Chains A and B, each alone.
Chain A
Amino acid sequence: DQQVKQNSPSLSVQEGRISILNCDYTNSMFDYFLWYKKYPAEGPTFLISISSIKDKNEDGRFTVFLNKSAKHLSLHIVPSQPGDSAVYFCAASSNFGNEKLTFGTGTRLTIIP
């Protein structure tokens, strides 16, 4: 039972344009959401997070939007750069989960120069 879903396995975006990665979840107990970025042969690295008390969090070129009613979050990257090419995982946790994260299946983002 996949509680966190990323329905797009891959996405290609032109350099300089906006990249939008989507994530849906089913567990209404999730109250904290994170995005991780993973390059080949490296472990995932934390990118940005958002608490359920907010609907938007911004950090430089990266913005995460949360729509609780739709159980949907998205990561916007503006402008997209070649170094953004990687696999992106969304993850979620609940206050009762003791910092246990549930990850999505990942989206491979390719930035076309």
Chain B
Amino acid sequence: DVKVTQSSRYLVKRTGEKVFLECVQDMDHENMFWYRQDPGLGLRLIYFSYDVKMKEKGDIPEGYSVSREKKERFSLILESASTNQTSMYLCASGTVGLRTDTQYFGPGTRLTVL
């Protein structure tokens, strides 16, 4: 059974704080993704990674950075949190080459920036 875990289910931070969201997958997947989910906007891709130390910008990378030092772990970093980054953050992982494009999601982190 594929398992994607995220470090926190709920997080409250203050404007200007540096925020780390951690994601770990146990299926040896090459690809990992960070999305945010907002009402009326669906899931929007922030960053993704195809391999260790590789990263690619998604559709809304501004204000975020990522780190992938180990294959199983993908971190999302908010360098200076702002109120418009209040959202549900979802991590996902998936394999390459099978052309199934199925991604497996973690439970999400509800981040509130005050």
Seen from chain A, the residues whose Cβ lies within 8 Å of a Cβ on chain B are 4, 6, 9, 32, 34, 36, 41-46, 49, 89, 91, 93, 95, 98-106
Question: Contacts A95-B99, A98-B96, A100-B45 given; 18 further ones with Cβ under 8 A?
Answer: A32-B99, A32-B101, A34-B102, A41-B9, A41-B107, A44-B43, A46-B102, A46-B103, A46-B104, A49-B102, A89-B43, A98-B50, A99-B31, A99-B96, A99-B101, A100-B33, A102-B45, A106-B43
B interface, how many residues as a size bin?
A: 20 to 34
- Inter-chain CB contacts under 8 Å: number: 62
Given the interface pairs A95-B99, A99-B31, the reply to whether A89 lies near B105 with Cβ below 8 Å is no
Q: Which residue of B lies closest to A42 (CB)?
A: B107
Instruction: Return chain A residues, CB-CB under 8 Å to B99.
Output: 32, 95
